[in-house]
Amino acid sequence: MSARTHRQARPSGTPSQVVVIGLGRFGSSLALELVERGSEVLALDTRPQVVQHFADSVTHAAVADTTDPAALRQLNVPDFRRAVVAIGNDLEASILTTSLLADFEIPHIWCKAVSRQHGRILERVGATRVVLPEHDMGERVAHLVTGRMLDYIEFEDDYAMVKTRAPAMAVGHPLGESKIRSKYGVTVVAIKRPNQGFAYATQDTVVEHGDVLIASGLSHDVERFADLT
């Protein structure tokens, strides 16, 4: 077992403390963002030079073989409630590490997958949530590149939210009168006027030219609604 800490790692028992395993582009970006948002982060990687690079930017950093249960125990990883396995290129290490975290009964295990097959395996060995960063970003950009949408986020069960310009058919009418929900199957949840912040939308909200809308619904419904612009 080989583990070397650059700062003293501490056990964690609160959701604001996260262990991030793998400091590639995804893992390092996530670790830095978590620290920026106030979380305590234990960052682990097998590469000493990479750990050294991020040692002063995260709460704790260590060089460790995360497929070795003794190394993880030495770093108090079993005491964490939230873990992210961001190992990308070494599928075996990704799967073995996830399995060990599940054996430790860590309740929240997020894992990066490089393919859907990889993701299914990670779920079988104990991942509670799997993300495919490249696939998800590619899908999101594909929705935006046409210019119809300003932003697009898809959730589970084919549900999505879209940021789009107000269609001409809605301008000058209260949302309840334009019947967007009954005609297109989407709900306008927020509205932004030029030079103003977003505000919650109600059935009495009158849509004006230049407004930006946040609408939610099934993916194909919000896409169809965005096509109206």
151-169 per-position pLDDT tens digit: 888 777 788 899 999 999 9
Q: Are 61 and 5 a contacting pair, CB within 8 Å?
A: yes
**Domain parsing of the chain, residue ranges:** 3-131, 140-226
Which overall architecture, per CATH, does domain 3-131 show?
3-Layer(aba) Sandwich (3.40)
CA pair distance 3, 24, nearest whole angstrom? 19
Burial class (CB in 10 A: 0-12, 13-18, 19+), 195: exposed
10-residue averages of pLDDT along the chain (229 residues): 41 68 93 91 96 95 97 97 91 96 96 91 94 72 67 81 91 92 92 91 92 92 86
Which overall architecture, per CATH, does domain 140-226 show?
2-Layer Sandwich (3.30)
Q: Are 85 and 99 a contacting pair, CB within 8 Å?
A: no
CA pair distance 93, 91, nearest whole angstrom? 5
Q: Helices marked H in the chain — which ranges?
A: 25-36, 48-54, 69-74, 91-103, 116-125, 133-144, 175-178, 180-184, 219-226
Equal CATH topology for 3-131 and 140-226: no
Q: Is the pTM of this model over 0.85?
A: no
pLDDT of residue 147: 59
pLDDT of residue 76: 96
